[in-house]
Amino acid sequence: MSGGTGTAPDVAAEAARRRTFAVISHPDAGKSTLTEALALHAAAIEQAGAVHGKSGRRGVRSDWMDMERARGISITSSVLRFEYGEVLLNLLDTPGHADFSEDTYRVLAAVDGAIMLLDSARGLEAQTLKLFDVCRHRGIPVITFVNKWDRPGREPLELLDEVEQRIGLRPAPLNWPVGVAGDFRGLIERDGGAFTRFRRTPGGATRAIAEHVPAEQAAEEEGEAWSTAVEELALLDEIGAALDPDAFAAGTATPVLFGAALPNFGVSALLDTVCRLAPAPSARVDDTGTERPVAAPFAGQVFKVQAGMDRAHRDRLAFVRVCSGRFERGMSLTHARTGRPLATKYAQTVFGRDRSTLDAAYPGDVIGLPNAAGLTVGDTLYVRTPVVFPPIPAFAPEHFMVARATDNSRAKQFRRGIDQLDGEGVVQVLRSDLRGDQAPVLAAVGPLQFDVVTARMAEEFGAPVELTRLDYSTARVTDKESAETLSGRRGVEVLTRSLDGALIAVFVDKWRLRALEREHPGITLTRMLAAGVAD
């Protein structure tokens, strides 16, 4: 079993019982609350928390940064690993805010499926549309959960129509609400017609009490709400709104469930659906276009690097998605980019901020490697059979700041902190001979990323920074010859990206970019991946 292979049947069987998926949504749709509710229903935790902070409730496990708890939003992705029946779930919570969509994209590179939350009142929003587009681009099947049905909202048929008309996914409801949004009576299962009524527990901190009611009794007790639901279900049957498993796997259809994450209504049904329908890990394509089977020798890809999770040790954790083979703690891996060996004696499994020793892992699992020097987002690790997985691209930044230490005596800590945040992908760090190492340019998708930089530089590295805004808004990758052409031009600057040495041309606006492209038609200015959408 050593050497990262195991026996093929063992690896294949272990991979088949895993579900690695992300929870994604527009901000404030209840994503982190649902993440906690899923863990609660799988008995991975005893009490749920909520970012909106009901009295006596803790913060959610997946939101562990001080800024996340203070602002009530997810700033960084996190991993929750737990078992539910015979299935092992690797649940990746993601930042909902558009400013952190690059982190969400990295997570989507590491999962096999996704749960998309829709707010029952707001339906599809800008960030929701972008995330659906990313999932389509990456071929990730999506299960839709219409959340907050215990609050006033829109008609369920209207929400389904919006999903189909605006994003081209054919919705297939698996259950149906009895009672309009804000007057939630319970859920009817489309397969069999069973009716479940829910009763909330104090603060929603524990699982809701579910009461299974015969249809005849429900019709008598729920009256018009029941009749309306039955009529709507009949309409769905008429139009053929049934789930086609092949269309779901191809990313053209989405199972839809209704519920409310905060009081834990309908969460068990969602959990059962993930276990039943979400795809298990399968062969992954390497950078040559060749599929690497799950039973091949061990290989994995770094999709996230995070520091500051353990204040006692202040270490740096690389998150590795296992793509093939069996991982065993202590095995020596090869770092594909450098060819150097990497020890894994201290490999860990992660549950939010909490960590524990991990002895073995299989395709779909996430390994935490502490203080793995030199690992960056997108790196491939393997044993025996060499492989390189396609890189995880950086997004095109739209906001730029010059960073300077407020205390020159902390210059060493300043440089270390900036390099650390660069390696994690918190921001892209750009440098130039003109500005020097003491004034790097920080490039970000959204301005909230700079708030993270300011807070972490002060708290973790003891090197408070002063940020000065630059009037650039557009970036392109260029080459040395083109950089010479651009040198000295008004409204443009060429900088070097620290992480990979790429030359990045930044422009004051897209009109200046287009003017230079017209003046120099042969110039190299390559588009980068736009925030949340494939260019």
Binding site feature residues for GTP: 93-97
**Rounded Cα–Cα distance for residues 325 and 180 (Å):** 48
Task: Find how far residue 524's CA is from the centre of its chain.
Answer: 32
Burial profile 291-306: b = 16 or more Cβ within 10 angstroms, e = fewer? ebbbbbbbbbbbbbbb
Neighbours of 261 (CB within 10 A): 29
Residue count of the chain: 535
**Rounded Cα–Cα distance for residues 422 and 419 (Å):** 5
User: What interhelical angle do 31-41 and 267-277 show, nearest 10?
Assistant: 80
Residue 443 DSSP symbol: E
- CB-CB contact of 410 with 462 (8 Å): yes
Tokens 């060749």 correspond to: 290
**Rounded Cα–Cα distance for residues 212 and 194 (Å):** 7
| Angle at 289 (CA atoms; ends 284, 291), nearest 5 degrees | 35
Task: Find how far residue 391's CA is from the centre of its chain.
Answer: 17
Residue 53, SS3 per DSSP: coil
- CB-CB contact of 105 with 395 (8 Å): yes
Contacting residues for 348 by C-beta, under 8 A, at least 6 apart? 317, 355, 356, 357, 358, 367, 368, 369, 370
- CB-CB contact of 159 with 169 (8 Å): no
Give the DSSP letter string of 89-155: EEEEE---SGGGHHHHHHHHTS-SEEEEEEETTTBS-HHHHHHHHHHHHHT--EEEEEE-TTSS---
- CB-CB contact of 244 with 172 (8 Å): yes
**Rounded Cα–Cα distance for residues 97 and 119 (Å):** 15
- CB-CB contact of 110 with 92 (8 Å): yes
Residue 79, SS3 per DSSP: strand
